[in-house]
Chain A
């Protein structure tokens, strides 16, 4: 018996668990599970459904001697509590005896079950939860076969009560366990649900505007232990036992949530979270859950198209590929390899991206490749390679003693499930959260410190924090010695960033800078999460990298940097070298770098032919469109006939992620495999296969027969990816990292839980004698003087106008329309109300936008969503820009 464990006896089995464990969790070690309804391992126990009642006894203590009483056989006398106890609220204690399966305990639970069933409709035959419902299972196991309750007196409630556009409540089925309410409060931090009324009339309501306003609403249907909450798209869609469940990975953002595709007759019926404590625990966001309908869309491309007499007409694969081969060869012949270029979207898998760069570099002979368009245009994200969060980082455990610095990201919009984890680390587990940003975001509510800097000064703030760490003598000398070089030079450069001066430039209070620097440096573990809104410059990344190294928060689990990148595989695209200057694995290219996407799309690039896969630059700006129109030959690999595809000479239909296998690398560098869920429509091919075919037409002999075949080569060629064979990536998770009682947690399906594999950073390697990292200082761009006007910020929103979402009708009402968010005061000053139009202008460009008053927006700031219909804000801030000073007038 160690100090931190407790040994007890449950139904005759001896069980040893950590101190503080609840009886319900301790019992998971033995076969006799304790049924629960209101308890969920991710939420605080409330003990209200009473389903988990057990008999509990503790060793009797003699009042006089204060020694345990012993019976004749010398065994401790156990005194049972007169009332049964709820196993979900009672922590274990040494020597405790618990009876789960005693006659009396069974009797108690049977009674509770009968109570829950008095008004429950038991309409299992038409209930979505049927087949994976704790209430149904327990009723079959313990419940009485007949109802003794008078049917006439059954409480009747509405059976189709919409809680917003995505969730429907069947009030009759609800057993008032409040898991949904508590999920929204404790985990999503969107208290959108509540219980109204009392007694038997209690029911769940939502009064937010829009109703059930949360990015996480779908999770409530999972955690609901009965069929009371159903999702609009799965409702009555299939019976759970008819579904085939394929493990997958969400392709909507860089978090890389593990999902399960539940399919039937070749269609995705629903997407649910698949447990991965290291990534998404048991949650996904609503974009991931509801944004899959593009897969079955009738607008999907189903056959290759070739331009004939100005029109795109259907063609066979052979015809289309032959044409691509001939044209590319001819262009290379006439203008050299550098007359060809390619852009691959960061939604492609690692296998696709690896072959994409291989096609250009090995077969064509050009480095003109890139994955960065739009906001990430100038991103050179090497920080993940140097000081990315250490392998084994697990935000589900981050708590007391840790500090998280978020800078320039609205996580709730950009990386929703990461938001849940960061918010949980702070609010539930006591991590110190510092949220630095140009505007208020939802995360501020959980942050102990909010640093509000002027747009354009994030780098100054980062340098200010760094200088303050040095000034306060909080540097990790030993860590710097072991890992880094150039500290003396850095210190010199930092002299210009004294706190007072930085405070002046950034507008952040000097004391707050010092306090934040101190809190971050002194924390046992420190993680820096930065987003594109902090500005897209290498000076910032150098400063943050140095901050991690100087404070000793690098090279270990739970320490380091996380870049919030825009797409599901932005990380993988950088890893696979789909950039003009680096090879797979970050080695610089030999000789001259190729053209970046910016340059390729600038016109006058000298390119004659391009291959564009899974990205739609023509939609981003008219200039890009003009550049693409100027090409002699454009080939596009796509799911849909996008704006770019419309300009193409050859359009090649490809499979969506659900229709093929492959791997994505998430923003914590975790490589995760996804399986095939449904067949592709028509003649679509996986992108990697298309690339193999093009390479073949250009004379290469590539012998890849499958995605894992490509990955096998990557493990050989890219040292970072050594060990990423599919069999490692798909290895099942060890039991202690997995919830055993799936059905009670809201996951009843049988798809594998996997953890994926992270690749190690340089900071981790240099602890083992690898090369040291130079501490870099890059002079930040000068800060523009105060100009009159509004600071207009082009922000990323979860439900933007992206094509994949546009094809998912369930979320239609949530998709952002062009608008400008203003503070109430500014709106009053401009004399406008919600819905009124304003003209926003800068340097002769002006756009008209309807106003929406938003309480999170500060005076003098205006926020407009990026990537929405017509891309108005991009016209003002530029496709790669974040903010601009603009004039706003009433139209």
Chain B
């Protein structure tokens, strides 16, 4: 049935079709026909090309064109791997979970086609530890069904193409959504990012060529292959074609996942889909990409939700997890929450992220407890300046925009808190330090 902007769902087909999570339900509704088409009538590079022409962009956050990524996989190095990123750890993101729970076969079909396109024979779905029930239950059942029907395993649908698909659970770390940390974790190493280059397409899992795509990205593949690139371009904008799932949360009446064409205005998501802000309050700030995003104010409500427009508005689409703050939300509290998240999730590999997020948390606590001064507010700025551009991976960099935009948009709230601190008598820092040094030295 779709929604007002979509005649039929492309990704959330379970909202249109009952029992699609079971293989019979899926096959009865054209499931695995795209795979059949690909295996019987298309060469591997044809599959890559149709995905490239469709302009499908990665849904994991960076928006890198999927078909282009696949074409980077070297032909002459074996084995190759497909790794599906189901870590879904960005605060406010809960779309992949819905796909895997209710429409798993469309994802599996997409994985098989991706493997066929690049010549991989092994694929892994890497899920966050919290997906345990899902991975051991419904998703594993779907994989088993696909094996039983010959969509996975040896000589798929009678072709010479064979592949295996395994599910793997991490231990629950945001950093393991970063693709190179994910690969380390999958290999049994510590979940910390690797240096790039080499890029995973050349040296990924076990140093072999590897495609890493988000769950949603690959779920787009079967309809694209079935209907063609032109069909896909009917949705979305020229450079951001297709539909996208928007996870809406925060101070709205109907939080949830909404599949909409890319390019839909934010206002539509909040008002038409989300039923507006609770108690009809005013929007104060929008975090379009969860904790990682630059916050935008209510003036951005008419910005369209596509990669280009969001970037032009000074933020990013990312994984499209829209968190809405209304006028009742304490901006410093919200920023502190974000910073605490990053402190907790910092992998500890590099000093700016490890120490910076730790320090930011310390300053935020001081401010919120009313012990902070104006100097502390300024300090926040210098800390993020010292982090920005200097971190090993994007996790550390993601800490910065939330703080920076919060400071810019809601400076008055910070300064109000700082005034309290300024009024309090400040003990001489150096004296305290000296005294404590003396105390601790006897313990050394």
Using a CB–CB cutoff of 8 Å, the interface residues on chain A facing chain B are 45-51, 53, 82-84, 89, 108, 111-112, 114-116, 118-119, 123, 126, 146-151, 153, 155, 159-160, 175-176, 194-195, 197-202
- Mark interface residues in B359-377 (1 if CB within 8 Å of A CB, else 0): 1001101100000000000
Which residue of chain A has its CB nearest to the CB of B397? A83
21 pairs, A vs B, C-beta closer than 8 Å: A45-B195, A47-B392, A49-B350, A51-B351, A83-B389, A84-B389, A84-B390, A115-B352, A115-B354, A115-B359, A116-B355, A147-B433, A149-B359, A150-B363, A153-B362, A155-B358, A175-B351, A195-B348, A199-B354, A199-B357, A200-B343
Bound together, the chains give a CA A606 to CA B223 distance in angstroms of 100
| In the complex with contacts A46-B195, A118-B358, A119-B355, A202-B348 CB distance below 8 A | yes
The one of B175, B362, B390 that contacts A53, using a Cβ cutoff of 8 Å: B390
Q: Which residues of A contact B346 (CB under 8 A)?
A: 198-200
Q: How far is the CB of B352 from chain A (nearest CB, A)?
A: 6
Q: Is B391 in contact with A176, judged by CB distance below 8 angstroms?
A: no
The one of A47, A111, A151, A199 that contacts B195, using a Cβ cutoff of 8 Å: A47
Q: Which residues of B contact A118 (CB under 8 A)?
A: 355, 358-359
Q: Is B386 in contact with A111, judged by CB distance below 8 angstroms?
A: yes
Q: How far is the CB of B206 from chain A (nearest CB, A)?
A: 17
| In the complex with contacts A83-B389, A151-B429, A199-B362 CB distance below 8 A | no
Q: Which residues of A contact B191 (CB under 8 A)?
A: 198
Q: How far is the CB of A92 from chain B (nearest CB, A)?
A: 15
Q: Is A150 in contact with B350, judged by CB distance below 8 angstroms?
A: no
Q: Is A112 in contact with B359, judged by CB distance below 8 angstroms?
A: no
Q: How far is the CB of A127 from chain B (nearest CB, A)?
A: 10
Bound together, the chains give a CA A114 to CA B390 distance in angstroms of 13
Q: How far is the CB of B125 from chain A (nearest CB, A)?
A: 23
Q: Is B190 part of the contact surface with A, judged by Cβ < 8 Å?
A: yes
Q: Which of B173, B348, B429 has the most CB of A within 10 A?
A: B348
Q: Is A126 in contact with B358, judged by CB distance below 8 angstroms?
A: no
Q: Which residues of B contact A195 (CB under 8 A)?
A: 190, 348
Which residue of chain B has its CB nearest to the CB of A155? B358
Which residue of chain A has its CB nearest to the CB of B379? A148
| In the complex with contacts A112-B386, A115-B386, A149-B362, A50-B392 CB distance below 8 A | yes
Bound together, the chains give a CA A89 to CA B173 distance in angstroms of 26
Bound together, the chains give a CA A119 to CA B345 distance in angstroms of 18
Q: Is B350 in contact with A48, judged by CB distance below 8 angstroms?
A: yes
| In the complex with contacts A47-B392, A159-B443, A112-B349 CB distance below 8 A | no
Q: Which 4 A-B pairs have the closest CB atoms?
A: A111-B386, A202-B348, A115-B355, A153-B362
Q: Is A198 in contact with B390, judged by CB distance below 8 angstroms?
A: no
Bound together, the chains give a CA A175 to CA B350 distance in angstroms of 10
Q: How far is the CB of A570 from chain B (nearest CB, A)?
A: 43
Q: Is A199 in contact with B359, judged by CB distance below 8 angstroms?
A: no
The one of A48, A84, A115, A160 that contacts B349, using a Cβ cutoff of 8 Å: A48
Which residue of chain B has its CB nearest to the CB of A151? B433
Q: Which residues of A contact B173 (CB under 8 A)?
A: 198
| In the complex with contacts A46-B195, A159-B444, A112-B390 CB distance below 8 A | yes
Q: Is B348 in contact with A198, judged by CB distance below 8 angstroms?
A: yes
Q: Which residues of B contact A49 (CB under 8 A)?
A: 350-351
| In the complex with contacts A50-B390, A150-B366, A199-B357, A123-B444 CB distance below 8 A | yes
Using a CB–CB cutoff of 8 Å, the interface residues on chain B facing chain A are 173, 175, 190-191, 195, 343-352, 354-359, 362-363, 365-366, 379, 385-386, 389-392, 429-430, 432-433, 436, 441, 443-444
Q: Which of B355, B358, B392 has the most CB of A within 10 A?
A: B355
Q: Is A200 in contact with B348, judged by CB distance below 8 angstroms?
A: yes
Q: How far is the CB of B436 from chain A (nearest CB, A)?
A: 7
Bound together, the chains give a CA A762 to CA B150 distance in angstroms of 70
Q: Which residues of B contact A160 (CB under 8 A)?
A: 444
Bound together, the chains give a CA A801 to CA B140 distance in angstroms of 58
Bound together, the chains give a CA A47 to CA B173 distance in angstroms of 22
Which residue of chain B has its CB nearest to the CB of A195? B190
Q: Is A200 in contact with B390, judged by CB distance below 8 angstroms?
A: no
Q: How far is the CB of A719 from chain B (nearest CB, A)?
A: 53
| In the complex with contacts A111-B390, A200-B346, A50-B351 CB distance below 8 A | yes
Q: Is B195 in contact with A202, judged by CB distance below 8 angstroms?
A: no
Which residue of chain B has its CB nearest to the CB of A178? B349
The one of A48, A151, A176 that contacts B436, using a Cβ cutoff of 8 Å: A151
Which residue of chain B has its CB nearest to the CB of A53? B390
Bound together, the chains give a CA A452 to CA B276 distance in angstroms of 76
Bound together, the chains give a CA A198 to CA B345 distance in angstroms of 8
Bound together, the chains give a CA A734 to CA B352 distance in angstroms of 39
Q: Is B352 in contact with A112, judged by CB distance below 8 angstroms?
A: yes
| In the complex with contacts A53-B390, A148-B379, A195-B348, A176-B444 CB distance below 8 A | no
Which residue of chain A has its CB nearest to the CB of B343? A199
Q: Which residues of A contact B175 (CB under 8 A)?
A: 198
| In the complex with contacts A115-B359, A195-B190, A202-B354, A176-B390 CB distance below 8 A | no
Q: Which residues of A contact B389 (CB under 8 A)?
A: 82-84
Q: Is A200 in contact with B392, judged by CB distance below 8 angstroms?
A: no
Which residue of chain A has its CB nearest to the CB of B190? A195
| In the complex with contacts A47-B392, A108-B390, A197-B348 CB distance below 8 A | yes
Bound together, the chains give a CA A552 to CA B429 distance in angstroms of 73
Which residue of chain A has its CB nearest to the CB of B365? A153
| In the complex with contacts A108-B390, A112-B390, A151-B436, A176-B354 CB distance below 8 A | yes
